[in-house]
Each structure stands twice: as structure tokens, then as C-alpha cells.
Structure 1
Amino acid sequence: MPFISVRITRDGVTKEQKAQVIAEITQTMQTVLNKDPHLTHIVIEEVDTDNWGYAGITTTEYRKNLAESAS
């Protein structure tokens, strides 16, 4: 029984997009590893951009800096 956890930032991802991600990961598991789709579990965890960071800052701050440098 495969269990797959997907973490993304919470910023405008639609219900339809998440459904597509679930369907395509499930299909990939079936195609590549011959896993039964009825036994494949996918969990999408949405993380606030204040709780996701890299380069020493939060994603919120990084995107703010990027927007400011683009203007």
C-alpha cells in the first residue's frame, strides 16, 4: 500500500489542480511500479509561506524581496 506525501506552499492552488496531482501520481505509481490504484494513498499538505523557508528567510519574505527587485 503506497503512501505518498506531497508538500506545497498554500498560495492559490485550486481544488482541481490538487485533484489532478493526485490522479497523475496515482497513475504514475500504477504505470511504473504496478501498484493498485485502490491501495495508493496520496496526501497533499499545504504549508503557509511563513512556515516554509530557504536561503535563510521565509518564502513570504523571499517573494516580497523578489517582487520589490522586479519593480
Structure 2
Amino acid sequence: MPYVNIQVTREGVTPAQKAELIAGVTQLLVRVLDKQPATTHVVIQEIELDNWGVGGLPVPEFRKQAAS
């Protein structure tokens, strides 16, 4: 029973995009590992930008520095 956790920043990922991710990851596991779609679990977590860090900084600060 595969379990895949996809984490993205909360920046407007649409329900259609989430459905496409779920279908795509499921099909990848079917094709590569011969897993059954009925027992494949895909979870998408949306993380607030302040709770995501890059380069030792929260994403908003990292982006400010990268833009300057």
C-alpha cells in the first residue's frame, strides 16, 4: 500500500491541479512499481509560506532577498 505525501506552499493550487497530481502520481506507481490504484494513497499538504524555509530563511524573506 503506497503512501505519497506531496507538500506545496499555500499559493493557490487549484482543485484541478491537485486532482492531476493525485492521478499522475498514482499512475506512476502503477507503471513503475506495478501497484494497485485502489490501495495507493496520495496526500497533498498545503503549507503556509511562513512555515516553509529555504536557505535558512522563511520563504517570504528568502524571496525578498532573491529579488534584490
TM-score by length of 2: 0.91
**For 1:61 and 1:33, how far apart are their aligned partners in 2?**
40
Distance (whole Å) between structure 1 residues aligned to residue 8 and residue 30 of structure 2: 23
Q: Report the equivalent of 1:18.
A: 18
Q: Displacement of 1:56 after TM fit?
A: 1.4
CA shift, 1:14, in A, is 0.9
Structure 1 segments, 4+ long, off by >2 Å, are 64-67
Distance 1:17 1:61 in 2: 27
Corresponding position of 2:47: 47
The CA distance in 2 between the partners of 1:46 and 1:58, in whole Å, is 15
**Residue in structure 1 matched with residue 28 of structure 2 by the alignment:** 28
Q: Size of the alignment, in residue pairs?
A: 68
The TM-score, its normalising length taken from structure 1, stands at 0.88
Q: CA RMSD in A?
A: 1.0
58-67 or 7-16, which deviates more:
58-67
In structure 2, runs of 5+ residues without a counterpart are none
SS of residue matched to 1:16: helix
For structure 1, which runs of at least 5 residues remain unmatched after alignment?
Answer: none
